[in-house]
Amino acid sequence: MKKILNKLFEHKTLSQSEAKQVLVDIAAEKYNAAHMTSFLTVFMMRPITVSELAGFREALLELAIQVDFSEFNTIDLCGTGGDGKNTFNISTLTSFIVAGTGNKVAKHGNYSVSSASGSSDMLEYLGYKFTNNEAVLKSQLDKANICFLHAPLFHPAMKAVSSVRKELGLKTFFNMLGPLVNPSRPQNQLVGVFNLEIARIYNYLLQRTDLNYGILYSLDGYDEISLTSPFKLFTKEAERTMNPEGLGLKKLKQSDIFGGNSVEKAAEIFKNILDGSGTEAQNSVVLTNAAFALKTLDSKKSFETAYDEAKDALLGLKAKEALRLIV
């Protein structure tokens, strides 16, 4: 690690193979906490390269406990986190809405590092039991159209840095990696990122794969469509800028989508929305994100059609039923 750190401190970057090997060695617990903190800090002080991110991704996917969902056409809906906005759990709610439309969702997630409530915090609070048992997860996909892959159960390599990340309490390149290393390797993905630079790096990286994807970034810093500002959507075909008014929706204030400062408060909002009792603003945000997930699955579908399908799943309580079935 000393050799790698000296190279990085000289403002050099890692090749894909070097980056992969460092992650393999981290997983093997070859480095102490000071070394890992120094290594993580480098990537807080300068942009990560596509080759570095590709190497880290390759290592984590190879080291992961694999599950095979190839018989399903699954989608993952995940944000990087790290935007510091403390919204309610938009991507998790979106996942249940998409499941409520009949599509298969293999959601990858973890406990929060930099916000009040991550997807794992929320689902655990609601009574979901994490597992890496493939048969159980497939059964959930069959009966509820959704299953949840809690990252620590699938990525033993993450255990080696979990305490360092928690103590830092800041976004690191692991926030960038989370959405890229779903161990079930879904065929489709809608992912939100916390800045435009990362959106473009993701786009360069994912263009090399056969993944059907969309990458979202709201221009005021949210890692999802917040409806508080215009947002970017990257796909294999194009990069587009859209705004709420152009979709026929009201622009929202940041306070409209605040999730509180505790898991308990976030869970209260979560359950209200699934019960069909969310505010107009809360519903609008989750339905918009769900509509773009449905458009990721079928690019020919209009936004209006996708939005109506999502609305039927939410207000018809099909999303709530998906949660009930897996809990």
Asked whether residue 18 falls in the same domain as residue 116, the answer is: no
- Domain of 306: which CATH number? 3.40.1030.10
* Structure confidence at residue 115 (pLDDT): 59
Q: Cα-atom radius of gyration of the chain, to the nearest Å? A: 19
Asked whether residue 16 falls in the same domain as residue 117, the answer is: no
* Structure confidence at residue 263 (pLDDT): 85
Asked whether residue 250 falls in the same domain as residue 272, the answer is: yes
Q: Decide if pLDDT at 74 tops 80.
A: yes
* Structure confidence at residue 78 (pLDDT): 86
* Proportion of the chain above pLDDT 90, given as a percent: 76
| 157 in any annotated domain | no
Domain count, the chain: 2
| 163 in any annotated domain | no
* Proportion of the chain above pLDDT 70, given as a percent: 97
Asked whether residue 322 falls in the same domain as residue 180, the answer is: yes
Q: How far apart are CA 163 and CA 260, in angstroms?
A: 25
| 103 in any annotated domain | yes
Place of tokens 């360069």: 204
The amino acid at residue 162 is: S
* Structure confidence at residue 178 (pLDDT): 85
Place of tokens 């306070």: 255
Asked whether residue 93 falls in the same domain as residue 223, the answer is: yes
Q: Decide if pLDDT at 68 tops 80.
A: yes
Give the model confidence (pLDDT) of 101-136 as tens digits: 999 999 998 887 555 567 888 899 999 999 999 999
**CB neighbours of residue 153 within 10 Å:** 16
* Structure confidence at residue 266 (pLDDT): 86
320: Cα separation from own chain's centroid:
21
248: Cα separation from own chain's centroid:
26
User: Which domain covers residue 19, as residue numbers?
Assistant: 2-63
Q: Are strands 231-234 and 239-242 parallel, antiparallel or unpaired?
A: antiparallel
Reported as a pLDDT band with limits 50, 70 and 90, residue 175 is confident
Asked whether residue 138 falls in the same domain as residue 20, the answer is: no
Asked whether residue 239 falls in the same domain as residue 186, the answer is: yes
Asked whether residue 127 falls in the same domain as residue 212, the answer is: yes
* Structure confidence at residue 157 (pLDDT): 80
Asked whether residue 90 falls in the same domain as residue 123, the answer is: yes
Mean of pLDDT over the chain: 92
| 276 in any annotated domain | yes
Asked whether residue 43 falls in the same domain as residue 117, the answer is: no
| 161 in any annotated domain | no
| 164 in any annotated domain | no
pLDDT: which is higher, 217 or 174? 217
Burial of 81 (0-12, 13-18, 19+ CB in 10 A): buried
* Structure confidence at residue 83 (pLDDT): 61
> What would the two tokens of residue 43 be?
């990537």
Asked whether residue 241 falls in the same domain as residue 95, the answer is: yes
Give the model confidence (pLDDT) of 279-314 as tens digits: 999 999 999 999 999 999 999 999 999 999 999 999
* Structure confidence at residue 241 (pLDDT): 97
| 160 in any annotated domain | no
Asked whether residue 49 falls in the same domain as residue 80, the answer is: no
Give the model confidence (pLDDT) of 225-266 as tens digits: 999 999 999 999 999 999 999 999 999 999 999 887 788 888
Q: Which helix (DSSP H) or strand (DSSP E) does residue 305 occupy?
A: helix 303-315
| 68 in any annotated domain | no
- Domain of 52: which CATH number? 1.20.970.10
Question: What pTM was computed for the model?
Answer: 0.92
Give the model confidence (pLDDT) of 53-67 as tens digits: 999 999 999 999 999
